[in-house]
Each structure stands twice: as C-alpha cells, then as structure tokens.
Amino acid sequence: GGSPTPSWAKGLPTPAQLQHTPTSGFDWNGALSFRPPESDWVFKASVRYGRSSRNVGFHKSQAVTPSRTMLLGRTCGALPTKAGSYNLQSVCKHGFFKEFDNSKNASSEQHAILDFTVGKEVGIGLFGTHQEGTLAGGVRIAQFDSRSHLNLGADPVYHLDPSIFKKYHEIYEFTSNESRSFRGMGPEITWNAHTPLVGNTDEGEVTLDWGMNFAVLFGRQRVNLQHTVVHCRHSSFGTLSRCDGVAFAQAATGEITEPADNVVRSREVGVPNLGGHIGASMVYRNAKISVGYRYDGFFGVMDGGETTPLQYNRSFAGPYVNFTLGLGG
C-alpha cells in the first residue's frame, strides 16, 4: 500500500508468499438421466459442487548478527571472553529485537458446475474390442469463487550501526482482503463408454469405464483487492515504546498509514475445459457401483494477478466413487 514494500530480510517470507488458497477438498456430484422407451437418446442433467478452506498461522524469527556492531566503545572482536562468564561478544553481535514474520491466513474456495446434455447411445469397435457408449452435446455452466484474508505483523528491516544512535528497526502491519470469481457458460461435448469384462447385467457384470469431455466457457472474471499497510520506525532508546518523533507521554502512537491499494477489475474471457476419467464398475440389473480416477481442468479460469491480470488454472483430479440406481422398466 502506498510506498514500495521494504527490502525483506533474507529467510523471511514476504506477504505475497504467505497468502495461499486451499489446495485440496471434496466434490459432490449428482446426475439425473432419462431415456425414452425404445429409444437410444439420453437426456441428462448433472451438478457438481465443492467447497474447501484453509486457516493457517505462521511465525518465524531470526537473530540479527552484523559483525560491525560496537558495545561500550569497543568492537565485538576486541571484547574479552572468559570461561564461565557471559559472552559479551554474543551480546553486541545480536540486536535486542529479532527480525520476524507473524501471520494469519484464512482462505476459502467454492465452485458449482451444471451440465445439460442430449446424447445418443452408440456402439463402436476400438482397439479390437466392442465399446458401448454415449456421445452427447449440450451446455456447461460454471462458477468459481475464491476469498483470502491475511494479517501480518513483521519486523523485516533491522539496522545496527557502530553508533548506538543509528540503530533502528521498523515494524510493519499488513492487511489483505482479496476476492476473485468467474461466471461463465458454453458448449460442451462428452463421450462416456464402457467395455464389458466379466459376467452379464442379470447375474452381475464388471465393466471398464472411460470417458472424455470438452467445453469452452465464455464469461466474466472479477477481482476485488484491498491492501493496507501501517508501519513504525523505532530508533535509539525509543525501541520499547513510541515510534520515532513521538514523546513517551504523548497519546499518539506515531504509526504511519500508507494509502491503501484498492484494485477492482472485470473482464470477459474464454476458458477451455478438458477432462476425462477411467475406472471400473460392478453392475447388477439396475444398480451400479463405480470407482476410478477423474481429471477436469479449466485453463486460465481465474485472474490471480494484483495490479495486472495473471491467468491461473483450476483443476479437479483424484479418485471418485459413484452409485447409480436405475428407475422404471
């Protein structure tokens, strides 16, 4: 906010490095399909919803050890040390305070995906086997929301000088609130197939399942960012109380509040979406249990930039379990 972020001490994470969104979560899926009697056409509607959160605290501190510091008018290297006595060299080489980061980051993400497709059941020969599947087309609607809040207290700048009146350190307090989203819809093509392996549907059957989906979503990305910074410099003997320029008896703290960074951005984008799955099912009459692995990637769907746009992907990858029950004749 306002003036540039100070040079960060080596080994201490910066505010941007401490602010993260969740990396994993669970999805819930539901689908309803309808096939008219004596027809190969299938009408299907499905929904996927997921939500995840992250709440992490972080603290790291490190000693300040410049070799040029002086104590009692003598350089550190010239101070005597004796066995069993306090090491004065250690005292003057370290600052009374330590460089540190202390942060709290709370973030959440949620997404919802709707699919409406019309398909036809077909059988094809592939790799020397008979594949039964459904080729479908329709529309996919998707929305993604991401929110993050960071509070950070830091002392990343510590200057020690041979003159005691030139010693100083600076305390920073950062607050960040970020909101990002995407809303879009577009055409979709899907292929879902199964290959019988063992048995039959009346007595029990095991099948190999696989499928692919492709869509292009047209929609709007939105970003709303608010960053604030308050800092205070402590020099000489004022390090334990007030900021520089404020007397001990004054009520004012002397903290400097920089102008806030407020970024609001909105733009239209096209998002390619590609996915697939592979697994196996156990089928008995009108009931089926499926397990497998699924991937669904949305490329460039979120704007993760700060003052300028920066495209980030969102993907869903992991094992799945499906339960299917057929109704009707």
Residue range 7-28, pLDDT digits in tens: 677 778 888 788 888 888 888 9
Tell me the percentage of the chain whose pLDDT exceeds 90.
Answer: 43
Contacts of residue 258, defined as CB under 8 A and 6 or more positions apart, other chains included, come to 1, 2, 3, 228, 229, 230, 231
**Residue 39, pLDDT score:** 87
**Residue 149, pLDDT score:** 93
Cα angle at 108 between 141 and 143, to 5 degrees? 10
Q: Which two tokens stand for residue 68?
A: 């040029």
User: Residue 5 — pLDDT band, cuts 50, 70, 90?
Assistant: low
C-alpha distances out from residue 178 to 55, 158, 303, Å: 15, 30, 11
Q: Give the chain's mean pLDDT.
A: 82
pLDDT of residue 167 exceeding 70, the answer is no
> 90-111 pLDDT, tens per residue?
555 555 567 888 889 999 999 9
pLDDT of residue 250 exceeding 60, the answer is no
Of 160-174, 233-247, 284-298, the range with the highest mean pLDDT is 284-298
User: Residue 2 — pLDDT band, cuts 50, 70, 90?
Assistant: very low
**Residue 95, pLDDT score:** 57
Write down the residue that tokens 């334990």 correspond to: 240
**Residue 236, pLDDT score:** 55
Cα(282)–Cα(287) distance, integer angstroms: 8
Higher-scoring residue by pLDDT: 205, 139: 139
Element (H, E) at 215: strand 204-235
Q: What is the mean pLDDT of residues 152-166?
A: 70
User: Residue 257 — pLDDT band, cuts 50, 70, 90?
Assistant: confident
Write the burial class of residue 265 (CB in 10 Å: 0-12 exposed, 13-18 middle, 19+ buried): middle
pLDDT of residue 252 exceeding 80, the answer is no
**Residue 254, pLDDT score:** 72
**Residue 81, pLDDT score:** 54
**Residue 238, pLDDT score:** 43
Q: Which two tokens stand for residue 149?
A: 């809040």
Query: Which of 14-23, 127-136, 231-240 comes out lowest in average pLDDT?
Result: 231-240
pLDDT of residue 67 exceeding 50, the answer is no
pLDDT of residue 248 exceeding 70, the answer is no
Q: Which two tokens stand for residue 299?
A: 């490329």
**Residue 93, pLDDT score:** 52
pLDDT of residue 77 exceeding 60, the answer is no
Q: What is the mean pLDDT of residues 51-61?
A: 89
pLDDT of residue 308 exceeding 60, the answer is yes
Quote the radius of gyration of the chain (alpha carbons, Å): 31
